[in-house]
């Protein structure tokens, strides 16, 4: 076999840890920006998460000059255009996104418009459409899961055509991602568990996918260890800042891993469950992950076996014979899933969600075949294969 080839690109500056928010003003000034726009949503505001950011920026001499707060759960081209208008009307020169995936993707879309001009984000679809750096852009995630703060993609719905537009460009990467333990401290237990399973799936799929590479592997295994060690601590003591920080950092590191190596079967199936059955994305990830790993054992048993080390630690890893490690790794993820079900009621199967009908599975399997994530699955997936994974996840 010839020497493999891969690409790895992760230039986001990560400001992480105690009083990270208080570094934003300095970073803004280093980019000659002083009039930031806050992009967030009402839920984040209600949770009291805007206040510490606003205070840190005011104290640092770069207060928000405007706020765009009307971000729905799924962003759209119209929301993006409205956000860009607020930026222009208030002569802003930077964007600070505080929130989850939708807030971050809205901000990425708005940054395209305010940097390149116009109100139609469609013009910037496609590889290579963006040719230069955009305006200063900072992301403060309020969930420990999506990893959007370090990824090159943004998904924005086009309500007129009823489709989701995928924007991909290295220029969409934020100038900085801020991981501050204060920002995830009040995330409710169910959402903490669901988003953590999303992050765990990012790292796991990055490690076993077709685009895996030695550098993303290092990020993926580090992320897995951090997430599985921190999650039980967070659920036991939700206000434990150190545990919250470890979990948030694990999610960001997982984001770096999958931004390079992409995701695969779990996400291809999970996207359809989210779209059709309105299941929370993290819930889909958690319940599908063991079954997708079993499906991929044929091509990735060594890699799945290696995951036992970050999942269970060196002593447990050493106790298990190498041939038994793949099954032991999957059993470890099942054990975590069962613990989350017992503690916060996270569904373990599709039937437990109460939102999926069994006769929907063939359609969901068919839809998954058109999902781009499937291109990175290490084993080819046809309709019967996708359906068999969904059937196994049913009960």
Partner 1 sequence: MQAARAYVAFMMKFIARGLCAASRVDEVVRQELSPLPAGFTFEMSVLPAGPALRLRKRDDGTFVSGEPADARPDLAIRFKHLRHAMASFTFQEPTARSFADDRMVVDGDPALAMRMQRMLDRLLVLTLPHRVAEKALLRVPDLKTVDKARAAGRLWKEMVAP
| Interacting residues with partner 1 (CB under 8 A) | 4-7, 126-128, 163, 166, 209-211, 262, 369-372, 374-376, 378-380, 382
Q: In the numeric block, which tokens belong to residue 106?
A: 């809205």
Distance CA 57, CA 53 (A): 6
| Residue number with CB closer to partner 1 (53 or 387) | 387
Which residues, at least 6 apart from 42, have a Cβ–Cβ distance to it below 8 Å? Answer: 69
| Residue number with CB closer to partner 1 (342 or 375) | 375
CB of 303 to partner 1, least distance (A): 14
CB of 131 to partner 1, least distance (A): 14
| Residue number with CB closer to partner 1 (174 or 209) | 209
- E strand or H helix at 290, and its extent? helix 281-306
| Residue number with CB closer to partner 1 (5 or 315) | 5
CB of 106 to partner 1, least distance (A): 21
3-state secondary structure 308-361: HHHHHCHHHHHHCCHHHHHHHHHHHHHHHHHHHHHHHCCCCCHHHHCCCCHHHH
| Residue number with CB closer to partner 1 (64 or 124) | 124
Q: What 3-state class would DSSP assign to 306?
A: helix
| Residue number with CB closer to partner 1 (19 or 161) | 161
Angle between the N-to-C axes of helices 265-277 and 189-208, in degrees from 0 to 180, rounded to the nearest 10: 140
Terminal alpha carbon distance of the chain:
41
CB of 376 to partner 1, least distance (A): 6
CB of 123 to partner 1, least distance (A): 11
CB of 153 to partner 1, least distance (A): 11
Q: Angle at the Cα of 377 (from 372 to 382), degrees rounded to 5?
A: 80
């Amino acid at each position: 076999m010839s020497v493999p080839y891969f690409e790895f690109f992760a230039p986001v500056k990560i400001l992480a840890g105690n009083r990270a928010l208080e570094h934003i003003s300095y970073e803004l000034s280093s980019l000659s920006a002083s009039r930031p726009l806050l992009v967030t949503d009402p839920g984040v505001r209600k949770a009291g998460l805007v206040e510490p950011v606003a205070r840190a920026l005011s104290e640092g001499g770069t207060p928000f000059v405007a706020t765009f707060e009307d971000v729905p759960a799924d962003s759209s081209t119209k929301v993006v255009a409205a956000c860009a208008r607020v930026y222009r009307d208030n002569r802003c020169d930077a964007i600070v996104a505080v929130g989850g995936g939708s807030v971050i993707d809205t901000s990425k879309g708005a940054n395209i418009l305010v940097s390149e001009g116009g109100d139609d984000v469609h013009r910037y679809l496609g590889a290579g459409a963006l040719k230069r750096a955009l305006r200063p852009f900072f992301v403060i995630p309020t969930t420990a899961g999506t990893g959007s703060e370090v990824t090159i993609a943004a998904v924005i719905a086009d309500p007129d055509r009823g489709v989701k537009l995928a924007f991909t460009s290295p220029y969409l990467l934020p100038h900085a991602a801020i991981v501050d333990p204060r920002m995830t401290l009040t995330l409710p237990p169910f959402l903490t568990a669901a988003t953590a399973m999303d992050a765990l799936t990012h790292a796991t799929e990055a490690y076993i996918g077709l685009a895996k590479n030695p550098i993303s592997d290092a990020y993926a295994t580090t992320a897995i260890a951090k997430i599985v060690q921190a999650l039980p601590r967070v659920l036991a003591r939700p206000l434990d800042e150190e545990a919250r920080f470890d979990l948030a950092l694990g999610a960001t590191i997982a984001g770096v891993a999958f931004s390079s190596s992409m995701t695969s079967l779990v996400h291809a199936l999970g996207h359809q469950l989210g779209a059709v059955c309105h299941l929370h994305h993290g819930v889909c990830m958690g319940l599908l992950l063991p079954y997708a790993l079993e499906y991929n054992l044929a091509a990735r048993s060594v890699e799945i076996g290696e995951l036992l080390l970050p999942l269970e630690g060196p002593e447990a890893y050493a106790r298990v014979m190498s041939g038994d490690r793949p099954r032991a790794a999957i059993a470890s993820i099942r054990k975590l899933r069962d613990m989350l079900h017992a503690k916060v009621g996270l569904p373990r199967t599709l039937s437990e969600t109460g939102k999926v009908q069994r006769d929907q599975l063939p359609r969901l399997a068919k839809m998954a075949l058109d999902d781009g994530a499937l291109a990175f699955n290490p084993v080819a997936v046809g309709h019967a294969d996708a359906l068999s994974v969904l059937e196994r996840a049913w009960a």
